[in-house]
Amino acid sequence: MKFGYFDDRNKEYVITTPQTPLPWINYLGSEDFFSLVSNTAGGYSFYRDARMRRLTRYRYNNSPLDMDGHRIYIKDGDTVWNPGWQPTKTPLDSYSCRHGLGYTVVEGKKDGVTARQELFVPKGDACELDRVTVCNESAAVKELDLFSYVEFCLWDAVDDSSNFQRNYSTGEVEVEGSVIYHKTEYRERRNHYAVFWANCPVDSFDTTRDAFCGVYGGPADPQAVRAGHCSGSIAHGWAPVGALHIHLTLAPGESRSILFGLGYIENPQEEKFIAPGVINKTRAHAMMARYATDAQIDAARIALRTHWEELLSTYHLESGEEKLNRMVNIWHQYQCMVTFNMSRSASYYESGTGRGMGFRDSCQDLLGFVHIIPSRARERILDIAATQFEDGSAYHQYQPLTKKGNRDVGSGFNDDPLWLIAGTAAYLRETGDWSILEEQVPFDNDAAKAQPLMEHLRRSFNFTCTHLGPHGLPLIGRADWNDCLNLNCFSEHPGESFQITGPSEGPVAESVFIAGMFVKYGHEYAELCDHLNLTEEAAAARKHIDAVEQAVLTAGWDGAWFRRAYDAFGNPIGSKECAEGQIFIEPQGMCVMAGIGRETGQAAQALASVEERLDTKYGVVLLQPAYTGYQLNLGEISSYPPGYKENAGIFCHNNPWISCAEATLGHGDRAFAVYRKTCPAYIEDISEIHRTEPYVYSQMVAGKDAPTFGEAKNSWLTGTAAWTFFNISQYILGIQPTLDGLKVDPCIPHTLSGFTVTRRFRGAVYHITVDNAAGVQHGVKAVTVDGKAICGNVLPLAAAGTEVTVQVTMG
């Protein structure tokens, strides 16, 4: 069943009922100011950091769901309704929600009145704009009361939801005409405030939640709305809100549009006040002046659209396969931008108060983002590298606002260092900007300990070399990519962290997965050495890599697939010798991508085992058989009921690894089959089973052992976004940036007769047509550039500013 449809021309998903199986959200903003907005206009806003600079409140796990948001109420006689249905849930005569690139338009119609709520964050500014257009489509004059409402968060979202003894006394506002200034804590150490305004005179306002909602009322039935006016309340502590009311008299056919804005303003310390207790509003006035008229707002909308058109023009596919085009050209890349911005911090499943940016997550996100805005990728690489320790290990997480490593979690996740090589190498392949390796980057955020980025990568590489276990495989530490495989922790008490309990850096437990990574990204590191003429270093690196590869092919091989690990007692994990958890997805994907066992046939055999043992109709599960009970020596993975999360769920992030791995073996049919199974557009029809947004990936789909097989959770923020775009664009369609230029090496289903890709690369535009009249899955027979045949399939670098036409014949 579907709850909407794709509108590809407008690059939107159009939701046609407010009662989606779960709130279906979108992200506004891509620089500093962000809002999450659901299909009913629920959600919240923050500046840079969802925990430390939260502008509005959101109650996760609430019942009913999704009550807090960017609320518009319309009172028409005795009827009160919202254009997005929530929170009053007054039945609408019609409803739609269009989630587009950086904007959302919610439209409701009731009793001859249409209200359109258009939400976006303008480029280059720290505010959300909510333009509300109300149209009287009835034959009679309408007297309407329009209310816009937000509930402020007192900045630190954790403190805000726990430290009530203090917070009920700190709230402060100022009101000036149609503008409410939320200035809690501005009197002391904060130099920022929020501003909530309308671009026209208002008839009344409230700034206390008690006055607007009623002490025992709530957003579903606010007493001020029922009364038809606000009471001019001024918040002194308790819960400051912003509520603005405008009375509208609309003749038949008349419409009126009003802008409500929510902005974030920062003042220099010495310019905070204009009089004792009176905040300096100059910057707020300037912000409001930028969006005073419809023409200004339209211009900001157009600028946003143009911006996205430009970003997406870097990679454009025409394939004759509608769903594929839509995912590649719009939604994959859009989700990559959002995950780049958020890492795993704020979604409807990540509260924004937990983990900040993850080291490994952010590095992997680069794989799908680096072509979109390379300069931001560059900055991110340097930020991430600055959280690395001198021994090459890394803080597992860091806070986006401070860019400092998170000490509570610390380090010890032994895959982390290698992801830095992965992200940086991807950046270099895309841009050819070798200067990044010379950038001085601190260790542990200490400028006194700065070294060139290349030295960081060297230490990443060496960290694995110096942390090998008894079988010559890398030590796993607290966990590797699979946060839940905790072989050294032995957590026995509820509430303990599975990852950082006990002797979590044990000297024995090893990871075959990290070994695969070391081979793959070690080779990428060695190539950088080659390029820098570090010939001896490259040769030495390759010796280490070969030794680890041999260890994988012997100690890491189980007979028909790659083992997963060795535990703290030296027993294999992910082996036919185990009662449960005999085969895991991760080492099969990573080791085959690394090229391990390609010549010996082990690679093909490992993937055949995946198909036989892990494949399901909804995707490839993480392991089989699922663990049925908690096992101390395995940790969190066995804490989940069978079929969920890392315990045999379809963990979408590593499905593309299998697809990529298949592509490296030339299996185009199978690579595409794996891609399709979890791909949003291809499973839109089962939205009632899948439940999360049909335009983006979720972290996890319940596996075949779960009672809710096929149901997704944790949508939006997942490494799946980057890996999938990496997979489809580079492995399947085969347009691959390399250090030397763009390589074309498709591995596609034999039924795909061809496609064209327009690719902007290092300043030039390549129009690439791939002809597969031969009906093969892999293999390039001939390549011409501007009509001239070239040798091999790496395109000569075209001069920046030029366009070249490339014809590729498969066969």
Nearer to ligand GLC, 206 or 483 (CB): 483
In 33-89, where does DSSP find H-type helix? Answer: none
Cis amide linkage into residue 625, ω under 30° from 0: yes
Stretch binding ligand GLC (CB under 6 A), from 196-204, 352-360, 365-373, 535-543: 352-360
**3-state helix vs strand vs coil in the chain, percent to 5:** 30, 30, 40
Provide the minimum distance between the beta carbon of 712 and ligand GLC in the complex, in angstroms, as a whole number.
13
Provide the minimum distance between the beta carbon of 671 and ligand GLC in the complex, in angstroms, as a whole number.
22
Note the Cα 360 to chain centre separation in Å.
13
Stretch binding ligand GLC (CB under 6 A), from 150-158, 159-167, 433-441, 480-488: 480-488
Output the DSSP codes for 749-806.
Answer: -TT--EEEEEEEETTEEEEEEEE-TT--SB-EEEEEETTEEESSSBPPPPPTT-EEEE
Provide the minimum distance between the beta carbon of 400 and ligand GLC in the complex, in angstroms, as a whole number.
15
The residue of the chain with the least Cβ separation from ligand GLC equals 483
Instruction: Phi first, then psi: give them for residue 368, nearest 5 degrees.
Output: -100, -5
Q: Which residue is it, tokens 């542990």?
A: 444
Nearer to ligand GLC, 484 or 621 (CB): 484
- In this structure, which amino acid lies at residue 119? L
Within 325-344, which residues bind ligand GLC (CB under 6 A)? 344
List CB contacts of 749: < 8 A, sequence separation 6 or more: 668, 669, 672, 673, 777
List CB contacts of 620: < 8 A, sequence separation 6 or more: 585, 610, 614, 650, 654, 655, 658, 674, 677
Stretch binding ligand GLC (CB under 6 A), from 193-201, 356-364, 545-553, 778-786: 356-364
Within 635-654, which residues bind ligand GLC (CB under 6 A)? 636, 645-646
Mark 214-253 with x for binding to ligand GLC (rule: CB under 6 A) and - for no binding.
----------------------------------------
Q: Which residue is it, tokens 């990519």?
A: 481
Nearer to ligand GLC, 482 or 730 (CB): 482
Provide the minimum distance between the beta carbon of 718 and ligand GLC in the complex, in angstroms, as a whole number.
6
Q: Which residues are marked as active site?
A: 483
Nearer to ligand GLC, 284 or 484 (CB): 484
Nearer to ligand GLC, 527 or 636 (CB): 636
Stretch binding ligand GLC (CB under 6 A), from 370-378, 429-437, 479-487, 534-542: 479-487
Say whether residue 481 binds ligand GLC (CB under 6 A).
yes
Nearer to ligand GLC, 657 or 731 (CB): 657
- In this structure, which amino acid lies at residue 590? M
User: Which residue in 11, 99, 290, 360 binds ligand GLC (CB under 6 A)?
Assistant: 360
Provide the minimum distance between the beta carbon of 66 and ligand GLC in the complex, in angstroms, as a whole number.
23
Provide the minimum distance between the beta carbon of 652 and ligand GLC in the complex, in angstroms, as a whole number.
9
Nearer to ligand GLC, 661 or 721 (CB): 721
Nearer to ligand GLC, 22 or 700 (CB): 700
User: Which residue in 100, 171, 358, 522 binds ligand GLC (CB under 6 A)?
Assistant: 358
Note the Cα 141 to chain centre separation in Å.
46
Provide the minimum distance between the beta carbon of 646 and ligand GLC in the complex, in angstroms, as a whole number.
5
Stretch binding ligand GLC (CB under 6 A), from 15-23, 450-458, 482-490, 687-695: 482-490
Please report the beta strands in 67-215, taking only residues with DSSP state E, as ranges in sequence order.
71-76, 79-81, 94-100, 103-110, 113-120, 127-136, 142-155, 173-176, 179-182, 192-198, 204-208
Which of 273, 303, 305, 272 shows the shortest CA–CA distance to 290? 303
List CB contacts of 188: < 8 A, sequence separation 6 or more: none
Say whether residue 361 binds ligand GLC (CB under 6 A).
yes
Q: Establish how many alpha carbons lie within 13 A of residue 728's alpha carbon, considering only the half-sphere containing its beta carbon.
A: 29
Nearer to ligand GLC, 428 or 484 (CB): 484
295-310 as b/e: b if 16+ CB within 10 A: ebbeebbeebbeebee
Stretch binding ligand GLC (CB under 6 A), from 358-366, 419-427, 444-452, 683-691: 358-366
In Å, how far are 153, 172, 205 from 176, measured between CA atoms? 20, 14, 11
Mark 427-466 with x for binding to ligand GLC (rule: CB under 6 A) and - for no binding.
----------------------------------------
Provide the minimum distance between the beta carbon of 495 and ligand GLC in the complex, in angstroms, as a whole number.
14
Distance, in Å, from the CA atom of 568 to the CA atom of 507, rounded to the nearest integer, reads 8
Nearer to ligand GLC, 121 or 357 (CB): 357
Within 582-641, which residues bind ligand GLC (CB under 6 A)? 636
Nearer to ligand GLC, 117 or 406 (CB): 406
In Å, how far are 81, 337, 578, 623 from 614, measured between CA atoms? 48, 30, 16, 7
Provide the minimum distance between the beta carbon of 137 and ligand GLC in the complex, in angstroms, as a whole number.
47
Say whether residue 483 binds ligand GLC (CB under 6 A).
yes
Provide the minimum distance between the beta carbon of 618 and ligand GLC in the complex, in angstroms, as a whole number.
18
Q: How many residues does the chain have?
A: 811
CA 228, 230, 235 angle in degrees (round to 5)?
160
Question: Is 43 in a helix, a strand, or coil?
Answer: strand
Mark 717-756 with x for binding to ligand GLC (rule: CB under 6 A) and - for no binding.
----------------------------------------
Provide the minimum distance between the beta carbon of 514 and ligand GLC in the complex, in angstroms, as a whole number.
12
Question: Is 808 in a helix, a strand, or coil?
Answer: strand
Say whether residue 691 binds ligand GLC (CB under 6 A).
no
In Å, how far are 206, 267, 314 from 687, measured between CA atoms? 40, 46, 30
Provide the minimum distance between the beta carbon of 513 and ligand GLC in the complex, in angstroms, as a whole number.
10
Q: For residue 757, how many other CB atoms are within 10 A of its CB? A: 23
Mark 699-718 with x for binding to ligand GLC (rule: CB under 6 A) and - for no binding.
x-------------------
Fill in the DSSP letter of residue 437: G
Stretch binding ligand GLC (CB under 6 A), from 266-274, 328-336, 354-362, 378-386: 354-362
Stretch binding ligand GLC (CB under 6 A), from 152-160, 433-441, 476-484, 511-519: 476-484
Stretch binding ligand GLC (CB under 6 A), from 53-61, 300-308, 481-489, 551-559: 481-489
Nearer to ligand GLC, 344 or 544 (CB): 344
Instruction: Phi first, then psi: give them for residue 117, nearest 5 degrees.
Output: -110, 115
Say whether residue 567 binds ligand GLC (CB under 6 A).
no
Nearer to ligand GLC, 613 or 645 (CB): 645
Please report the beta strands in 530-687, taking only residues with DSSP state E, as ranges in sequence order.
565-566, 572-573, 583-584, 615-616, 619-620, 623-624, 650-651
Distance, in Å, from the CA atom of 207 to the CA atom of 229, rounded to the nearest integer, reads 13
Question: Is 655 in a helix, a strand, or coil?
Answer: helix
Strand-pair category, 179-182 with 173-176: antiparallel
Provide the minimum distance between the beta carbon of 697 and ligand GLC in the complex, in angstroms, as a whole number.
11
For the chain, state the CA radius of gyration.
Answer: 27
Q: How many residues bind ligand GLC (CB under 6 A)?
A: 13
Which residues of the chain form contacts with ligand GLC (CB under 6 A)? 344, 355, 358, 360-361, 481-484, 636, 645-646, 699
